[in-house]
Structure 1
Amino acid sequence: MNTNSSWFPLILVAFASFIITLDSTFMNVSISQLVVDLNTQVSVVQRIICFYTLTTASLMLVSSKLQDIIGKRTIFLIGAGIYGLGALIAALSQNALMLFIGWSLLEGIGGAFMTPAVVSIISGTYSGEKRTFALAISSAIVGIAAAIGPLFGGVVTTFLSWRYGFVFELLIIVFIFVFHNQIKTFPTTASKSDFDVVGGILAISGLVTFVYGILTLQHNQMNSAILMVVGCLILICFALFETRCKKQDKIPLLDMSLLKDRNLKAGMLIRLITNLSIGGSLFAVSIFLQSVLKLGAFSTGLTLLPLTVVMMVFSILAPRLVTKLNVKSVMSIGFIITIIGVILLRNQFELTTGFMDLVPGLIVYGAGLGLVISLGVGIALKNIDKEKENTASGLITTGQTLGTSMGTAIIGCLLIMGAVGGMHDAIDTYAPDQISDAEFHDNVHVYFEKLGHVNTTQLKHENTLKEKIVNTVVQDAMKLVMEVTAVILFIGLLLTLTLKDEKINRKNKKSMSR
Structure 2
Amino acid sequence: MSQPTSVKLTARERWKLIALLGASFTLAVDFSVLNVALPDIGHDVGISAADLQWVITAFALPAAGFGLLFGRLGDLVGRRLLFVIGMILLGGGSLIGGIASTSWILIGARIVQGFGAAAVAPTALSLLTTSFEEGPRRARALGINGALISAGFTVGALLGGVLTTGLNWRWAFFINVPVAAVILVAAPILFQESRPETKPRLDLTGSVLISAGLAALVYGLTVAGQTGVTVGAPYPWLAAGIVLLAIFGWVESRIASPLVAVQILRRRTVALGNLAGLTTFSMMSSLTFLLTLYLQDVLLLNALITGFIVAAIGIVSIVAANFVPKIIGRFGQKTLLVTALVFQGAGTLMLAFAGPNMSSLALILAGIVIGAIGHIGSIIGFMVTATSGLPDDEQGLATGLTTTSQQVGLALGTPIMASILAAAASTGDSSHTNGLLHGLTVAIGANGVAVLVVGALVAVFLPGPKAASMSRKATSETEAPAPEKVDY
Asked whether the 8 Å contact 2:349–2:449 carries over to 1, the reply is no
The range that moved more, 254-263 or 4-13, is 4-13
**Letter of the aligned partner of 1:395 in structure 2?**
L
**Aligned mate of 1:228, from 225, 238, 246:** 238
**Aligned mate of 1:260, from 236, 258, 266:** 266
**Letter of the aligned partner of 2:187 in structure 1?**
H
Shift of 1:182: 4.8
Asked whether the 8 Å contact 1:3–1:9 carries over to 2, the reply is no
**Letter of the aligned partner of 1:86 in structure 2?**
G
- Give the structure 1 partner of residue 408 of structure 2: 402
**Aligned mate of 1:123, from 126, 129, 154:** 129
**Letter of the aligned partner of 2:48 in structure 1?**
Q
Shift of 1:32: 1.0
Structure 2: runs of 5 or more not aligned: 1-8
- Give the structure 1 partner of residue 451 of structure 2: 489
Asked whether the 8 Å contact 1:72–1:185 carries over to 2, the reply is no
Asked whether the 8 Å contact 2:228–2:419 carries over to 1, the reply is no
Asked whether the 8 Å contact 2:66–2:115 carries over to 1, the reply is yes
1:478 aligns with 2:485: no
1:475/1:49 Cα in 2 relative to 1: closer, same or farther (>3 Å)? closer
Asked whether the 8 Å contact 2:348–2:447 carries over to 1, the reply is yes
Asked whether the 8 Å contact 2:347–2:369 carries over to 1, the reply is yes
1:244 aligns with 2:238: no
| Alpha-carbon distance in 1 for matches of 2:173, 2:92 | 10
1:245/1:129 Cα in 2 relative to 1: closer, same or farther (>3 Å)? same
Kindly report which structure 2 residues correspond to 1:14-413, keeping only aligned pairs within 5 A, or say none. 14-103=21-110, 105-127=111-133, 128-189=135-196, 194-218=201-225, 219=227, 221=229, 222-246=232-256, 251-353=257-359, 355-413=361-419
Asked whether the 8 Å contact 1:3–1:182 carries over to 2, the reply is no
Q: Deviations over 1:62-100 (max 9, x none)?
A: 101211222111110110011111000001111111111
Asked whether the 8 Å contact 2:351–2:364 carries over to 1, the reply is yes
| Alpha-carbon distance in 1 for matches of 2:204, 2:375 | 38
Q: Deviations over 1:163-210 (max 9, x none)?
A: 111111112111212322453224322777712222222222222212
**Aligned mate of 1:10, from 11, 17, 35:** 17
| Alpha-carbon distance in 1 for matches of 2:65, 2:214 | 5
| Alpha-carbon distance in 2 for matches of 1:3, 1:408 | 41
Local SS of the residue matching 1:6: helix
**Letter of the aligned partner of 2:151 in structure 1?**
I
Shift of 1:229: 1.9
Q: Deviations over 1:267-292 (max 9, x none)?
A: 11100000011111111001122223
- Give the structure 1 partner of residue 462 of structure 2: 499
Local SS of the residue matching 1:189: coil
Asked whether the 8 Å contact 1:277–1:485 carries over to 2, the reply is yes
| Alpha-carbon distance in 1 for matches of 2:457, 2:86 | 33
1:213/1:156 Cα in 2 relative to 1: closer, same or farther (>3 Å)? same
Q: Deviations over 1:137-188 (max 9, x none)?
A: 2122221111222111110001111111111111211121232245322432
| Alpha-carbon distance in 2 for matches of 1:420, 1:190 | 59
1:360/1:176 Cα in 2 relative to 1: closer, same or farther (>3 Å)? same
1:273/1:386 Cα in 2 relative to 1: closer, same or farther (>3 Å)? same
Identity of matched residues, %: 24
Larger radius of gyration: 1
The range that moved more, 39-48 or 161-170, is 39-48
Q: Deviations over 1:43-69 (max 9, x none)?
A: 232112112101111111210121122
Asked whether the 8 Å contact 1:136–1:378 carries over to 2, the reply is no
RMSD: 2.4
Local SS of the residue matching 2:224: coil
Local SS of the residue matching 2:255: helix
**Letter of the aligned partner of 1:412 in structure 2?**
A
| Alpha-carbon distance in 2 for matches of 1:178, 1:297 | 37
| Alpha-carbon distance in 2 for matches of 1:284, 1:305 | 14
Shift of 1:220: 5.0
1:206/1:306 Cα in 2 relative to 1: closer, same or farther (>3 Å)? closer
1:474/1:212 Cα in 2 relative to 1: closer, same or farther (>3 Å)? closer
Local SS of the residue matching 1:252: coil
- Give the structure 2 partner of residue 435 of structure 1: none
Local SS of the residue matching 1:226: helix
1:295/1:494 Cα in 2 relative to 1: closer, same or farther (>3 Å)? same
| Alpha-carbon distance in 2 for matches of 1:209, 1:494 | 29
Asked whether the 8 Å contact 1:64–1:117 carries over to 2, the reply is yes
Alignment length, in residue pairs? 464
1:393/1:366 Cα in 2 relative to 1: closer, same or farther (>3 Å)? same
| Alpha-carbon distance in 2 for matches of 1:327, 1:349 | 36
Asked whether the 8 Å contact 1:35–1:42 carries over to 2, the reply is yes
Asked whether the 8 Å contact 1:153–1:297 carries over to 2, the reply is no
**Letter of the aligned partner of 1:170 in structure 2?**
V
Asked whether the 8 Å contact 2:218–2:411 carries over to 1, the reply is yes
Q: TM-score, normalised by structure 2?
A: 0.89
| Alpha-carbon distance in 2 for matches of 1:113, 1:36 | 31
Structure 1: runs of 5 or more not aligned: 424-446, 452-469
1:107/1:3 Cα in 2 relative to 1: closer, same or farther (>3 Å)? farther
Asked whether the 8 Å contact 2:424–2:442 carries over to 1, the reply is yes
**Letter of the aligned partner of 1:204 in structure 2?**
S
**Letter of the aligned partner of 2:94 in structure 1?**
A
Q: Deviations over 1:243-280 (max 9, x none)?
A: 2212xxxx222212210101000011100000011111
Asked whether the 8 Å contact 1:56–1:112 carries over to 2, the reply is yes
**Letter of the aligned partner of 1:386 in structure 2?**
D
1:40/1:26 Cα in 2 relative to 1: closer, same or farther (>3 Å)? same
The range that moved more, 287-296 or 498-507, is 498-507
Asked whether the 8 Å contact 2:345–2:450 carries over to 1, the reply is no
1:370/1:203 Cα in 2 relative to 1: closer, same or farther (>3 Å)? closer
| Alpha-carbon distance in 2 for matches of 1:137, 1:55 | 26
| Alpha-carbon distance in 1 for matches of 2:315, 2:233 | 40
